[in-house]
Amino acid sequence: MLGNFLNKQMLGKMDAMKQQLEEIKAKLETISVIGEADNATVRVIASGNRTIKEISIQEDFKNSANKAALEQAITQATNRALEQATRVEQAEMSHAAMGLLPGLG
């Protein structure tokens, strides 16, 4: 009897956690983070879910940079955007965990 009660309680908490995760994913999709390289000559915008939304390259940089410099700048800006997105995601997950599991902080 106690086992059934605890199982139902755990299932309820798991359902709440699953719903919270879905809400966080939806919220992260609405958050944009920016990574830049070479004094903002290359800018990458990503969602909080680490999906690249946009890459922009200043025209003069695109015309004057060689292929290696352009690739390096794109890579650097992308990595910076993804690092930002990861930090945002971790903060949101941490905040949600505190709400679901009080006493962890």
Render each residue's pLDDT in the chain as its tens digit; 105 residues.
Answer: 556 656 676 677 778 788 888 999 999 999 999 999 989 999 999 999 999 999 999 999 999 999 999 999 999 999 999 999 999 999 988 887 776 655 544
Closest CA to 45 of 57, 59, 30, 35: 35
pLDDT at site 79? 98
First to last CA, the chain: 33
Backbone dihedral angles phi then psi of residue 102, each to the nearest 5 degrees = -60, 150
Give all domains of the chain, ordered by start, each with its CATH number. 31-105 (3.30.1310.10)
Q: What is the pTM of this model?
A: 0.77
Beta-carbon neighbour count of residue 68 at 10 Å? 8
Q: In 3D, which of 47, 52, 46, 54 has the Cα closest to residue 30?
A: 47
